[in-house]
């Protein structure tokens, strides 16, 4: 046991999970975007308080990893996107919250289904499949499970398509027919297009091809560069410049009566490479004790305890991560609304017995189990503004 610290070096107290920011589900979160667009197109989809101007043709351009705070901090790299921010003359942009956790699989499912994570049921980067007792990667869908049992709700694209709106997705060819695409982003026609510039052109053509259209397009590599090099890198800044040109290219080709919405799935935090900022579960017997499965990712952990150990895991993680994380039991996290106002029964056991969301810039890595992920510089998943807030920028014709 650690000795009592001297009075002038008090250990930080555990953070109260009730002080963690909660995503603005139902008001201004990613799960509100397509329902608001669909409503503006005269369609009845999932309910939302988010209101958007009517447009016959709507396009969502989702940039992986482009946080609201990071975008605002880089006006020189992103002059076009910056012109759409509320701080500029004609900018009408606003911020949405990504949802919890702030990770790609969860957010893409929130966008496509128009439902918060507690309902669509993709609760993180990895999560427990209660039927097998194994961790499942929600992005790669490994190990395999029936996609439509895992996420049974229709997508807004499917609802729109059934109502006569020409729905389509324009993304990299290898995303066609992946389980994540099928449960989150299918409905209408998928166009696999390799080059990002061509994707913008095809998205614009899809908009022009119908009187009423709902088009989704996606760019991945800003996130990839942030993970590998950090956001404070020329590589990341170069990617942001490229994204800015892509967005402008698409905006300049919009047909009449269109609305283009530029958004993102989450932001990012650069995690320092110091041992103090990288708690390593594989090196720390205290953090590892009683944990049967370590889910989530560095910034947000689902902890599935061995039977009878959940209370001890909760206590130890609160103490060890004091000052660095909001640590909640599953019931607390659900009660506080982290995963949305409602958590479906089939989803509950996919959430950790204990949920640990990082509050500062530290991460909980696992250098043996997850060597690649543990070496990343940029990370995301938690509830901080840098990760949660994403832009909702609008161009209308
Ligand atoms: Zn990422």
Query: How many A from CA of 221 to the centre of ligand 1?
Result: 9
CATH topology for 30-270+384-396?
Alkaline Phosphatase, subunit A (3.40.720)
Q: Which residues pair with 303 in a beta bridge?
A: 294, 354
Task: Give the closest residue to 80 by CA, choosing from 323, 250, 314.
Answer: 250
Locus of tokens 């890595």: 365
Query: How many A from CA of 65 to the centre of ligand 1?
Result: 6
Query: How many A from CA of 291 to the centre of ligand 1?
Result: 25
- What is the chain's pLDDT, residue by residue, as a tens digit (397 residues)? 444 555 556 788 999 999 999 999 999 999 999 999 999 999 987 889 999 999 999 999 999 999 999 999 999 999 999 999 988 777 788 999 999 999 999 999 999 999 999 999 999 999 999 999 999 999 999 999 999 999 999 999 999 999 999 999 999 999 999 999 999 999 999 999 999 999 999 999 999 999 999 999 999 999 999 999 999 999 999 999 999 999 999 999 999 999 999 999 999 999 999 999 999 999 999 999 999 999 999 999 999 999 999 999 999 999 999 999 999 999 999 999 999 999 999 999 999 999 999 999 999 999 999 999 999 999 999 999 999 999 999 999 9
Give the C-alpha separation, 205 to 227, whole Å: 32
CATH topology for 272-378?
Gyrase A; domain 2 (3.30.1360)
Enumerate the domain spans of the chain: 30-270+384-396, 272-378
Q: Within a 13 Å sphere around the CA of 379, how many CA atoms are in the beta-carbon half? A: 31
Query: How many A from CA of 224 to the centre of ligand 1?
Result: 6
Query: How many A from CA of 162 to the centre of ligand 1?
Result: 32
Whether 272-378 and 30-270+384-396 are alike in CATH topology: the answer is no
């Amino acid at each position: 046991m650690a000795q009592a610290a001297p009075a002038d070096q008090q250990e930080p107290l555990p953070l109260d999970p009730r002080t963690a920011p909660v995503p603005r589900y139902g008001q201004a979160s990613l799960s509100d975007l397509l329902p608001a667009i669909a409503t503006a197109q005269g369609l009845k989809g999932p309910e939302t308080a988010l209101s958007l101007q009517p447009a016959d043709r709507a396009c969502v351009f989702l940039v992986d990893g482009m946080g609201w705070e990071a975008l605002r901090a880089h006006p020189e790299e992103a002059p076009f996107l910056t012109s759409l921010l509320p701080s500029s003359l004609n900018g009408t942009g606003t911020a949405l919250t990504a949802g919890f956790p702030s990770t790609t699989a969860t957010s893409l499912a929130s966008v496509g289904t128009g439902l918060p994570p507690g309902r669509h049921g993709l609760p993180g980067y990895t999560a427990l499949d209660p039927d097998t007792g194994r961790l499942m990667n929600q992005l790669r869908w490994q190990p395999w499970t029936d996609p439509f049992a895992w996420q049974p709700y229709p997508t807004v694209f499917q609802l729109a398509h059934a109502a006569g709106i020409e729905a389509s997705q324009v993304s990299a060819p290898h995303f066609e027919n992946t389980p994540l695409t099928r449960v989150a982003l299918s409905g209408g026609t998928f166009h696999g297009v390799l080059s990002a510039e061509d994707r913008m052109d095809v998205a614009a053509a899809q908009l022009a091809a119908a009187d009423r259209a709902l088009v989704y397009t996606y760019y991945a590599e800003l996130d990839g560069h942030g993970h590998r090099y950090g956001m404070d890198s020329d590589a990341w800044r170069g990617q942001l410049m490229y994204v800015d040109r892509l967005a402008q290219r698409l905006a300049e080709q919009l047909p009449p009566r269109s609305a283009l919405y530029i958004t993102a799935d989450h932001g990012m935090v650069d995690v320092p490479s110091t041992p103090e900022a990288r708690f390593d579960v594989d090196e720390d017997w205290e953090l590892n004790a009683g944990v049967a499965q370590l889910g989530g990712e560095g910034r947000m952990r689902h902890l599935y305890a061995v039977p009878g150990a959940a209370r001890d895991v909760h206590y130890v993680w609160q103490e060890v991560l004091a000052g660095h994380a909001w640590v909640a039991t599953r019931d607390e996290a659900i009660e506080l609304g982290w995963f949305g106002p409602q958590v479906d029964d089939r989803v509950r056991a996919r959430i950790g017995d204990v949920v640990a969301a990082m509050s500062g810039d530290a991460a909980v890595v696992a250098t043996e189990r997850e060597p690649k992920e543990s070496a990343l510089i940029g990370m995301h998943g938690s509830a901080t503004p840098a990760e949660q807030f994403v832009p909702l920028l609008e161009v209308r014709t």
